[in-house]
Amino acid sequence: MSKFTATFRLIRAGWIMTREGVISALPAEGLSGLPAFGHRIAGLLARRRARTARRSERMSRAINKLGPSYVKLGQFLATRPDVVGTEVADDLALLQDQLDFFPMEASVKAIEGSLGRPVGDLYVNLGEPIAAASIAQVHPAYVRTGGEDRKVAVKVVRPGVRQRFNNDLESFFLVAKWQERYVPATRRLRPIEVTRTLAQTTRIEMDLRLEAAALSEIGENTKDDPGFRVPTVDWERTGRDVLTLEWIDGIKMSDIDGLRAAGHNLVGLAETLIQSFLRHTLRDGFFHADMHPGNMFVDDRGHIVAVDFGITGRLGKKERRFLAEILYGFITRDYVRVAEVHFEAGYVPHHHDVASFAQAIRAIGEPIHGQPAETISMAKLLTLLFEVTELFDMETRPELVMLQKTMVVVEGVSRTLDPHFNMWKASEPVVGDWIRRNLGPQGILGDAREGVGALLHLARQAPELVARADRLSKEMDRMAEQGFRFDDETAKAIGKAEARHTRSGRIALGVIAVCLVAITYKLLF
């Protein structure tokens, strides 16, 4: 029944998106046959007002009607241009995550349930909400510490959002499975894996203790960084459904006139922003993945303060080395090395030719060397690189795509602050230092130390590995003599799964048939 219910939820979502003109606004190039016919029908069924609206407005109306789960889906897909395309991702990035406030009584109940103490014991005063998003809303409050009242921000999870998201998640997985089964060209994008990533990141975002942990970790990583900081967490007043943190008085980085009027150095802020992001990425391997201007403030000391750490990204050492080497390869015009790095990392299948891939990389790199440095976009370069890799069957790397999308946003904010912003000059101190430390002699020594440590760890495990190999050998000998057999429980489970799969397929076909009849009736009568 869960698949049946998920199918009906999808039908409802499809109808809302059709009526709001979202389907008809999607790119139709290359469509033929039934998909092209469906695209035309969607245009006829769209509301009259939707036909003249911009695509971003249509998406915003439809997604906000569908509720918090779809708002979060839209925000997530905005970070995945590899899945939805660059134009659609840009439109989704404009989504206004502004939902209605939920009642004060619900916030009080959530706080007391999460922390196990009355609100009056926790806060001197808890104010009415001032901002509401898909997952939570924010209240101003005061706490008393050391005999003084201190202003804080209190973030409270929206009631019922977890159950609503879990229900809608069934529909998202159903679409992903259909896509992998019936659209072979998209299997490279791994839609089921993308949906799992959405589920994981959103569940993390709905546990505010984990957001507090991200804030704490980045706070430790950046405590000595010039011009950048994050709010401090009040752990005593933080739980699964509530996060209390330092109140930030500052000017949003989207308010350029306000920053200029306050006397802040916009050129310096642009440089600090990009260098901070690259430090988090290369040095720490942990970065804020939602660094739009509304999530960043400038305080009275001229420091950038980032908030809302619900979405973060991590890069392992291999991914960081990959990023640094390709950037360095483009700077030095060593396109063969850029291609080799892709193969060494296992991102491009080895049946492709390195020289041919280097030729494609040259087509991206050569044009940038004839331009002034301030017009060269590192983010655009990475975007073109990921587009070219599609020709060589490079599978989607979610962590790299999230990095690329975040870099697009950060670089865009920097250029808004300083129209003549030189990305390469600003980045060189951070990228160059990382390359010298990790790709030079110092890095080789570090790798050698790690290799010796790994060998020692393997040596300590040698007796256990030998015992496992012996057991495996005996088991394989037994299977060779007696054959491979299912036990009764396994055979029954396979039979039930096959029957359930067949039944759900018949139900889905029936629902689709009913929908087609309804649409035909609507058109004719």
Residue of 168, 290, 308, 418 marked active site: 290
**What is the pLDDT, as a whole number, of residue 522?**
47
Please say whether the beta carbons of 178 and 3 come within 8 A: no
Rounded CA separation 234/77 (Å): 32
Residue with tokens 């993308």: 194
All structural domains of the chain with their residue ranges:
3-96, 99-180+201-247, 313-439
| CA-based nearest residue to 95, from 261, 290, 351 | 290
Residues 6+ apart with CB under 8 A from 289: 79, 311, 312, 313, 402, 403, 405, 406
Please say whether the beta carbons of 358 and 348 come within 8 A: no
**What is the pLDDT, as a whole number, of residue 78?**
73
- The secondary structure of the chain in percent helix, strand, coil, rounded to multiples of 5, reads 65, 10, 25
**What is the pLDDT, as a whole number, of residue 523?**
43
Please say whether the beta carbons of 322 and 341 come within 8 A: yes
Residue with tokens 């609206």: 53
Please say whether the beta carbons of 81 and 405 come within 8 A: yes
**What is the pLDDT, as a whole number, of residue 395?**
66
194: amino acid identity, one letter: V
Rounded CA separation 10/174 (Å): 9
Axis-axis angle for helices 423-439, 398-417 (nearest 10): 140
393 is catalytic: no
**What is the pLDDT, as a whole number, of residue 325?**
82
**What is the pLDDT, as a whole number, of residue 496?**
61
Please say whether the beta carbons of 250 and 227 come within 8 A: no
Please say whether the beta carbons of 256 and 416 come within 8 A: yes
Give CATH for domain 99-180+201-247. 3.30.200.20
**What is the pLDDT, as a whole number, of residue 88?**
75
**What is the pLDDT, as a whole number, of residue 197?**
78
Please say whether the beta carbons of 414 and 276 come within 8 A: no
Task: Give me the residues of the chain with pLDDT under 70, please.
Answer: 1-2, 28-32, 79-86, 93-99, 185-186, 188-189, 368-380, 382-383, 386-387, 389-390, 395-399, 439-459, 465, 477, 479-525
Using DSSP's 3-state secondary structure scheme, residue 397 falls into coil
Rounded CA separation 401/293 (Å): 20
Residues 6+ apart with CB under 8 A from 56: 91, 92, 94, 95
Instruction: Take residue 479 and report the two structure tokens written for it.
Output: 């299977």
Rounded CA separation 279/272 (Å): 10
**What is the pLDDT, as a whole number, of residue 266?**
94
